[in-house]
Structure 1
Amino acid sequence: GSAEPGSVVTVFNGAAAVGSVTAGADGSWSWQYSSTERFAEGAHALTVRATDPAGNVSVMSETFTITVDTLIAQPLLDTVTDAVAGGVIGDIANNGHTNDPRPRLNGSADPGTLVIIFSDAMAVGSVMANANTGVWSWQYANDEKFADGKYVLTVQAVDKAGNTSVRSEAFTINIDTTPPPAVAGMQWDGETLNIHFDGLEYKVGDQIILSIDGDEHNHTLTDEDLNSGTISLTWSSATKGNSEAFIVKVIDVAGNISDSRTLEKNDTILRREDFETQSTQTFINNQTIKFSGFDVNVINAAGGGFFNGITGWQFPSPTMALTFMGGTKIELSLQNQDSDYISFTAGDFNNTEQFIVIFFDSLGREVDRQILTPVGGLMQEIRASVPFGMTFSKVTLELNTSGVWIDNIVMGKTEYNISEGENPDTKSSSFDAFTLKNESYSTLDSILEDITEISYDENRELTEANKPLVVSIEEVLTFNTSEFFLDSEMKPTAIIGDNVTLSETPPDDIYIEEWIQMENVTMEGINYQGLQPSKLDAELLVHQDIIVNINSH
């Protein structure tokens, strides 16, 4: 400050004199504590008074108040919070994993201080602690985020006096936003489901999530699992039935979810009979009636036989059907023990009627038995299967009461195959038959001539020696010709209701990316669904009575 030149200036802290200094020739003066003395923490009301060489004493100066603050508390980084679905939602454990690249950091510091967030040694952000409570919260804003990796987080506080705190205790997080790979494969033998994977691709704590017809099972991977590369689940077909699908996905410890892998049930039809060539006939005991896929052995006739429905009970009315009355019992005998299921259409099957179905192996030993009851409606699709992994060579059907007709008997083999999922390079689209029109290729009329042969020749077989019919787009897109197939010796035909696999391999100069559904087209009284291949001025007409699988490659 300033005073009369040569006067002694006394410094007071409140009422106590704490020091003095002599004003210079120009009246200026300056004072501070010596190196060993200092003001205590807190507020101080400072004044000065001057005494000149003649002994005159001035009045006190105006008060100057200061607050001494040399302390600042270590801030706390209490929690790190994950807000992304999957895995942990909420607080992440120290050294834990998260799939949230913008987790929220929460803690406390001296009220009103600036909290600086450090990732390792680098400051990545800052936030003001609440002026009253000292609580603070921070996360990356906008598009900023942590990349995948391990981060050691600390915070440091700076107050208004310029004091800088020590760093908080470290909090380590592991950011992982990459989904794990799908499991390598699955196998089911009817008793045990084995799930295979590469143990190097997963970590202890990752979870295998298995869904079986909507029933979910969770398994947390251990070191032992990772070393073996396989986990097993007992799932007995004898008690659980033949499941439609086993769906497996992996959720890693950070919460990322893999693509699913599906083991799907697929049926191969080995024999089929619609009885259309059979004449009306009433059964007699011990009678054998031969068909192409099996023999019908009559054990107890009880008025059953081959009729067009049941007199007085013909809704819905069948064509020729195998008709049961109360007590009718027959045996279907196969040439080979190769089937594991039987299905058929049942009419007038209601109320208290029941079918007793017993399966036998080639030695006559009972494999399985079931009681089939109505599920609603006068006409139903009925199916009975033996436990997966077993087959039968004979099956008996016995009706307990009243009358029921059955038709369209199918027997076949069930297999479980790995589905390729939603990969667009391998997925298959199903339609109901095919033809194509394009000014650059065959005319619509000429193609329809050939399609009529495929759609309506019910006297020809879809397959030769039970091999699937497979034709390609290249065989359909025949340039400037009315021939449907390039190979003139190839003339496969289909029966309405059959499946045809159409390979989606076009000629070299044509690329089909996807199929677009167009309006339906009616030609000569036949209804077709229109499908247009992308980037091609053409249309595939899909007949509604034949199932066509268009397989991408």
Structure 2
Amino acid sequence: MNLLAYDQTKYIYRDIRRPTFAGSTGEYHPNTVVRITLGQKQVNADYNPVDGKFTWTLDEDLPDGVYNLSIIVIDAAGNVGPATLRTLVIDTTPPEAPELINLKDDVGAKTGSFDPGQLTDDAKPTLTGVAQPNTVVYLRNAAGNDIGSAKTDAVTGKWVIEPNNDLQQGENVLTLVAIEEFGKDANGAPIYREGKVSDSFIINVGMADFVTIVDALDDVGKWSGVLNNGALTDDTTPTLRGQANEGATVIVYYRKAGESTWAGSATATVNGPNWSWTPSPALAAGQYEFQAATPKVSSALFNLDIFAAGSGDQQTKITEVWDDFGTTIGKLNSGDFTDDMSPRFTGRAESNSRVVIQYTLNGSQNSVTVDVGHDGKWSWTPSVDLLAGDWNFQVKSEDAADWNDSFDLHIYPSPSVPTTITQVFDDVGVTGPVGNNGITDDSTPTLSGRSEAGRFVLIYDGSTLLGSTQTSSNGDWSFTPTALGDGRHNFWAVQRDYSGVSNKWQIEIDTSGLGPDKPSITGLFEHQASGAYDKFANGGIIDDGSVKVEGTGRALSVINIYDGTTLIGSTTAGTDGKWSYLHDSNYSSGFHSITAREVKSAGVSDPSNEARFTLVGTGKSGEGYYADSFHDDPVIITGSRSFSSGYTFRSLNGGTLKLVEGTLYSKNQAIVKKEPGYLKFLDDGDNTAKSVTFEIAASTDFYMAVNGLSDSGWARLAYYSTTGKYLGSSDFGSKVGASIEGVIKQSGFVAPQGELIGKVTVTVKDKGGMGIASVIYGVSSYPTGKGDAYFTTIPDGPVYSSGNGLEGFAVLTGVAYQENGKMRLSPDDIFSFTVGKTTDIQFSLEGYVGVTFYDVYNNVIHSGSYSSFVNYTAPAGQLIYRVAIDTYGQTNILIDNVIWGNNPVNPDYGYDSNSANIAAHDDSKVELNGLVESQAIIDLQDGESTTKVITVEDLLTYGEEGLFTEADAKQLMIQGDKNDVIQLNDIMPEGGDIEQWTHQKGTITVAGVKYEVYSHNGENAELLVQSDVKVEII
């Protein structure tokens, strides 16, 4: 490729670390120099002055990344030509395999997420996952054919695929692969590179187990045919029909409606996917429920109303009349007024029959015949508006001699100004308006309203005409009745020609002056982050101290509010008797008992009903629910509580976690006081994957401990940046301890350098449920400093898991238990902790362990084996962030007296107290004598080149049996750097055979470090040499 042929800055893509650059000046130029600058590196390319061509190949590997490239030509006179600028992209890594997160079925009766391998009736399910951003993800079948694709999101890497065509019935073995565009060829066409193929997964397409009752068949009497659910029939042996999976055995159950046990059952006749069943003997008259079932599933209930022979005419009814016109719409009762000139009538009759409806006005009769549906229902709406007047409607079966049901309506059109009641006024005692459904002590309240000007308005109390009044020239009217009795009154008004029926206004008159015996509390409402108040149940647990109390009482009465026996405020009921109270300050944490009393002339009324709630957390309005270690005593006492989107929790190191998606439930260890409570995924037995998402303050790291996750379940953490970019995931694959709820497992993640975690999604699939025990994050941002943590004064009992600890000392993974003033480490897995970033750390130790020191980006700084005491200083320019301890499965490992930031020894190369006695060696050879630790370890990790001679006598003398692996051989371990050399001298005892010594294939890992193994079969001994160390036989 002629690099100088471009006329502008362009990209050059390479998938090798040492690319070759070539081009031509285009002319014969003797003594010309082609100078190439790549980043900070500058070279003169090989140049042929005859043809003007040049070439240069990098002499060292370039890491993946983007580089600036400049090419200039300098002629013999030293003149510099214009620079040719290129952007070099080195990308040697194809995309990782796409990750499948979810499968979704949106076809059929059962929809939602499902797992690979499960049966689905959706032949084109929706697949969702993540992959490398700006790639195209392809879905492939077992033959390797692409059957669907989608481009990933440029930031998050999310993709969604639906197969192009229906998947085949049965098992479909599928894979996913991401393909990226990797530069362009000489013609400008894109070059594509395929990434790793995912593990195969199965989508099993088939008909889910089902059984349904479709309908029934009436073949008796004049009116026969199909019967739908709810039908009315005279057939006492109706044939039920339905569908089920082919070959399934279908049992039909039946019982009278309202009964709890089935009266009988029988096996249906199955023909392919269809089945049928006819009762034998005949069923007695009554309302029946039927249900079909196979060994796996049951149908919905199917209802039939079977009436006795000869009683069909009596079944014909008007069940509802509906007004859907004007300002007042809704159901009408017989005798009502309506402005709907064509109201809708519905009713019941024998299924598949016909009914006759007769409607009469002033003796003039009309009739219409209406068909009854398969479900026994009929409906009729006049095709033209009816005339104004007082109508009577009757209905009967088509062949019946007598009418079976009747309905009256006063139908009048609305006037130009509707008739309304606008106010009821009390002018006795405490005066003022009386709201709808209010209470008054005035037996002659004044009603007022509006209607057409100059019209007479009739005032009714229920069906009783109280009197009439005439509207003024502007349409106002008022009316005061004669004294009314105590009790409920239902006022309404209508013009004298019965047009324009008003709204209804109900009040209660109580002239005793006492009003109700006591007010009533009708609801408690908790403040939400949105500013709204949501109702909660009496006796509930809440986390916001702003609570509104609502109730009812006498209109305009003063209501005192009490918390226990303490008066905390008062409010006034409205004209409708309703009142509400919002305390002017937040309630305190704890239990509260709220009652209300009406203020009377002689004191206060009896207390209302009691409204109770328990406030947990801070109680500060708008802050949500905070819980250290997700533990709170009131929750332990009163039981579980649900938390949905909007709740905020606090991690042990003070960070906040805001729940933005999903629901969690509180769960507490009431019987094991040393264990904290936790947030639990609800176990509803459906064994489907459930997820919640937390927003956190931007952080470089995140750790979570969970409990109760079964071996057959799984859980995963997915991490996203503050902008939603997918950063990676981690699993809960390792056991780190145990609690009363089951094993404790831990997972964590450190963001790639330059990225910050802003959101974490927890996904779990476990039929038994899983609990979040503790969380810690952002500890890598702790300031560098000094400190100590002594466990001597802490009483026995506390359990320390991810997020727990003392000031400055925090557990990241694993579990420790307070015991005799020290921390006993769980033997189940790696225990790790942090003290923030520090130059050095030391702690006392009982037992023999492997210890690895990491920086904030999870890079290993140093690893070694220790007993009694650990004291390590990081090399200059590096800081220790995490310390991991491998107990090798031992149960008796104790640590104490953790001190950091106080011992900066040997800052140039790092310092380890275990190897202090080899510091005075020279650069040639170091003899073994005096250098072996008590635990059969030689540590040469000092940053310098060391050559060490080891004999078979050393191996047999200093080795210990089965110390590092489960082998029963004597073992000696050598730890060192890549510049160190181990020389095996006289490795065979006298008379030995060299063939008895074997360099074993592969490596073994101890405390996270890989070792080569050299074994001697005759002497049953093994030498473990760290993989970076060179081994020579001399």
State the TM-score, normalized to the length of structure 1.
0.35
Name the structure where strand makes up a greater proportion of residues.
Answer: 2
Structure number with the bigger relative contact order (C-alpha 8 A, sep ≥ 6) is 1
State the TM-score, normalized to the length of structure 2.
0.20
